[in-house]
Amino acid sequence: MGKPYSEDLRRSIVQAIESSHTYGEVAELYGVSISSVSRFLTRWRSTGSVRLEKFGGYKGYALEPHRARITRWVEAQPDITLSELQARLAKENVAVSQTAIFRFLRHLELTYKKKPARGRARPAGRRRGA
């Protein structure tokens, strides 16, 4: 993802449009797209500012408010499936995907491998001699 345009550039673009230049002229003059010019002007007219909105950062988990309940369910039944968890959450009016549940469980380090790793069959071919 590219870096956002500076606030100075945004302000200059809005001033150019307000001084009766066309979107195309301003876009070519400042080396930005016409849609960027339109977005800057829309933001200016709706908020009175061309300041950047939050860019990047940490996004929390949608299931964080339900942490205790999910932990309790998993501890009571360690082999519970994602679809069973999804159904229980749906009864509580929490609509989330199985992927979101998986990521949250991994975050809580509550993963469960149902079948232990066993010796795998060897490929056909030469075998070790006795």
Q: What is the pLDDT of residues 24-40, one digit of tens each?
A: 999 999 999 999 999 99
- pLDDT at residue 122, as a whole number: 62
Pick 111 or 103 by higher pLDDT.
103
Query: Which token pair is 26?
Result: 């301003």
Locate tokens 């988990």: which residue?
A: 61
37 and 72 together in one domain: no
User: Residue 92 above 80 pLDDT?
Assistant: yes
Pick 114 or 33 by higher pLDDT.
33
First to last CA, the chain: 59
Q: Is residue 130 part of a domain?
A: no
Q: Is residue 128 part of a domain?
A: no
**pLDDT, mean over the chain:** 86
Q: Is residue 126 part of a domain?
A: no
Q: Is residue 30 part of a domain?
A: yes
Query: Which token pair is 43?
Result: 């933001």
Residues 50, 11 contacting (CB under 8 angstroms): yes
- pLDDT at residue 128, as a whole number: 65
Span 5-9, average pLDDT: 91
**Structurally, how many domains does the chain consist of?**
2
Span 85-92, average pLDDT: 94
Q: Is residue 123 part of a domain?
A: no
Q: Strand, coil or helix: what is 3?
A: coil
- Distance from chain centroid for Cα 102: 15
Span 99-125, average pLDDT: 76
d(CA 54, CA 52): 7
- pLDDT at residue 124, as a whole number: 63
Domain that holds residue 83: 64-107
Locate tokens 């307000």: which residue?
A: 18
- pLDDT at residue 120, as a whole number: 60
Q: Is residue 35 part of a domain?
A: yes
- pLDDT at residue 54, as a whole number: 75
User: Residue 114 above 80 pLDDT?
Assistant: no
Q: Is residue 14 part of a domain?
A: yes
